[in-house]
Chains A and B, each alone.
Chain A
Amino acid sequence: MSYKVKLEVFEGPLDLLLYLIKKNEIDIYDIPIATITEQYLEYLELMRMLDLNIAGEFLVIAATLIHIKSKTLLPPDEKELLPEEEEDPREELVRRLVEYKKFKEVAGILQDLESQRKKMFTRDIPFEVAPGEVFFEASLFDLITAFTRVLKDVPKEMFQEIIKDEFTVEQKVHDLLHMLVKTPAMSLFDLFKNAKNKPEIIAMFLAVLELIRLKEIIVVQKQNFSDIEIIRNEKHRLNIE
């Protein structure tokens, strides 16, 4: 078998059905379901042979067509002889097709409007901007998107710091108290000089703050901007003892 096919690209199963209706010059309200089903399935077979990905939606309509076809083949129920009561099994599909076709018409109108509008130039021409690159006013959703992107970048680093964090405030409080037993007064800057990295400085600083809060130590400064000394709060100590 040789195939000489000009394959149309269809947006979806309804699009394909409309094409078949047009091709066969049939009335959309009186679709010869057997013929159309046959052609529809032929087309799907063609798509499969050409290794085109057949979307599930095409199969859903195929099933619908076959279902309608089988319904029309069955003899009508003898009880229902009133023609009004007898529902056309095609009705639902036709209704969908007609509605879809209306929007396809509108899409065509929009396309005409688009090409007309593109002929009218205004001041907001995106100068030297690549196609598709258009600027818009940022909406709330843009901001949220931007925000989540920023957040995505940040946690990585913060997370690393937490992993690396070998210095805890608790430990530093302990260390400081021990040091103060040996040397009742020491320079804050000297204390920080011994620190290996930023996290340790932070831990130390927090430890100092904590000890101040607990009234274990007092910090004194001789003059503005001079070194700060940490002194054990003897009074407090005495009170406890």
Chain B
Amino acid sequence: MDRAQIKNIIEAMLFVSDKPLYLSEIKNVLEGPDANETKEVITELAGEYEKQTSALRIKEIAGGYQIVTDPVLAPWLKKLYKTAGADRLSGPSLETLAIIAYKQPTTKPEIEAIRGVNVDGVLKTLIEKNLVKILGRRETVGCPIIYGTTQEFLQYFGLNSLQELPKLEEFNFTEKDIELPEHFKKEEEAGQQEGGNTDVQTSGTS
């Protein structure tokens, strides 16, 4: 089995699969090259896709490899599948997910303590969407249910692993640094364009 053939087999597998394939899965099918060599070939293949300006890309998602379309093609694909990618997660959902992602295994009261609001509904939605799952119960008083993120969570956000998320310690709000997240800023700008509150405007000349 020469390298070109190995590459073809891997490409065919990735093409056919509807979910990310783990390196171990690919290696087991090939029954020849070791993990390192397999990985090498995949990286080479991914490079070729990139170089040939192909419509497809090989991306590492949720600990595996998957063929995805080039993001620049999204507008056309969205037209083709009218519903695909239309529904986004709400602000409360994202906040709750963020807390669970970092604090897992965590309990409902812990999440509520951080968000300052009840999270019953949000938690239910996230479980329904399979982004969060019940891991079991904590062995403390009351045996509260503990929650964690799923493989689906990684896939949904295109993450390879939880380690790809920034460290919480990196967020240091030094004095006067009170930047709000992107989506909040956009709302603010939109508000100003409508001729809303002028006293919200920040002066850059101080």
Contacts and interface: CB of A to CB of B under 8 A. Distances in A.
Interface of A: 6, 8, 11-15, 18, 21-23, 25-30, 55, 57, 61, 96, 98-127, 129-132, 134, 136-137, 139, 141
A22 B180 contact: yes
A16 to B, nearest CB: 9
Contact of A107 (B73, B94, B156, B196): B94
Contacts of A109: 98, 165-166, 181
Contacts of B127: 141
Interface string B125-156: 00101100110000000000000000010001
Contacts of A14: 115-116
Contacts of B101: 106, 110
Contacts of B66: 122
A120 B158 CA distance: 9
A121 B75 CA distance: 11
B84 to A, nearest CB: 5
Contacts of B92: 11
Interface stretch (B35-43, B46-54, B170-178): B170-178
Nearest to A24: B199
Nearest to A118: B85
A79 to B, nearest CB: 31
B59 A120 contact: yes
Nearest to A137: B130
B92 to A, nearest CB: 5
Contact of A27 (B17, B57, B175): B175
B171 A11 contact: no
Q: Which 10 A-B pairs have the closest CB atoms?
A: A108-B181, A12-B117, A117-B158, A119-B74, A106-B98, A119-B71, A118-B85, A120-B68, A107-B94, A14-B116
Contacts of B94: 107-108, 110-111, 114
Nearest to A107: B94
A25 B118 CA distance: 29
A103 B95 contact: yes
- The contact size tier of chain B is 35 or more
B196 A116 contact: no
A130 B67 CA distance: 24
A239 B68 CA distance: 86
B184 A108 contact: yes
B98 A107 contact: yes
Nearest to B16: A123
A106 B68 contact: no
Contacts of A25: 178, 202
A131 B77 CA distance: 16
A6 B197 contact: yes
Contacts of A111: 88-89, 94, 181-183
A137 B152 CA distance: 10
Nearest to A26: B178
Contacts of B19: 124
B98 A116 contact: no
A114 to B, nearest CB: 6
Contact of A103 (B71, B98, B159, B197): B98
A98 B173 contact: yes
A207 to B, nearest CB: 49
Contact of A127 (B81, B114, B191): B81
Contacts of A124: 18-19
Interface string B5-30: 00000000000011100000000000
B104 interface: no
B83 A131 contact: yes
Contact of A131 (B17, B87, B180, B197): B87
Given A13-B116, A99-B114, A113-B159, A23 B200 contact: yes
A99 B85 CA distance: 31
Contact of B98 (A6, A110, A117, A137): A110
12 contacts: A22-B178, A61-B116, A99-B114, A103-B98, A108-B182, A110-B89, A110-B97, A111-B181, A118-B74, A120-B68, A125-B81, A139-B133
A124 B95 CA distance: 26
Contacts of A137: 130
